[in-house]
Amino acid sequence: MSESAEKIKCLIIGSGPAGYTAAIYAARADLRPVLYQGMQPGGQLTITTEVDNFPGYPEGVQGPEMMEQFKKQAERFDTDVRWGVITEVDLSRRPFKAKTDEGKLLEAQIVIIATGASAKWLGLKSEAEYNGSGVSACATCDGFFYKDLDVAVVGGGDTAAEEASYLANLARKVYLIHRRDELRASKVMQKRVFNKKNVEVLWNTVPKEITGESEGMGKKVTGVILENVKTCKEKKLDIDGFFVAIGHKPNSDIFKGQLDMDEYGYIITSPNSTKTNIPGVFAAGDVQDSVYRQAVTAAASGTMAVMEADQFLADMEE
């Protein structure tokens, strides 16, 4: 990349809770952070309606509003928040090099990766239509809203089993929809599902469409049309919520071949740390967290990344 690249002290790639929190801490530490928001400014919370489990919001908050507040707080301390996507990186040596979707070249002394992960979806038209209005990819985030109601979870792995088990403690009835005749989840997770009296597994079944209706100014899910993959027969199931639990994909493609990753593409960091295999490069939030995937844990790891980055620079200057 060219010598005309813009010189940056701290480059933050991504703008969810991890990225914005990192920006707040980095700005206060005088690291003069430049943050590129990425394809989905604000991250997954921008497609979430009510957020009730983040500390400091006793009445709850809309996901997009919360992320806008994070952004304003980062800008209050003079973070340079920019539209745009980082499309290329060269992490082979410091200063690290990056290129934006508009062709702008950057050189950074430290890089904090907070690109997050994206939920995998079924691809149904109605799935997108009711996303945030009865369709969710996070039971921990949204399960509370379905207390004593009927819900469905689609999937057959550990994620689906965990979501179904969690929802069983809140919902009146949980239907676990799986296209095969046995779950792919670990034995311990299967046992947990089968021990829940209000969980019913619908084998050899796939969702064809989600049904719903308008409610005031919004929408709500009323059911799902299911198809038996063996008989091809369809039936309608009345439900109040539909949870997609077929996994997440970390947004880490541009770092492949440079950073250590697990088999699913999550960036590997040192234990209890945000340090990657490349000194000066740190990863925070869902791009390196396949376990918790919560806004509050992402924000915490954004803090960790800056504290470790600041120490890294201090050590380099000695």
Give yes or no: 10 in active site.
no
- Considering the candidates 10, 30, 80, 141, report the single residue annotated as catalytic: 141
Phi-psi group of 84: left, alpha or beta (phi > 0 → left; psi -120 to 50 → alpha; rest → beta): left
Give yes or no: 138 in active site.
yes
Which residue, 162, 149, 209, 200, is CA-closest to 178? 200
- Considering the candidates 138, 240, 286, 289, report the single residue annotated as catalytic: 138
Which amino acid would we find at residue 266?
Y
Q: Which residue do the tokens 């934006």 mark?
A: 100
C-alpha distances in angstroms, 99 versus 17, 30, 94, 308? 23, 24, 15, 24
Q: What are phi and psi of 51, to 5 degrees?
A: -110, 115
- Considering the candidates 10, 142, 240, 289, report the single residue annotated as catalytic: 142
Give yes or no: 232 in active site.
no
| Positions marked catalytic | 138, 141-142
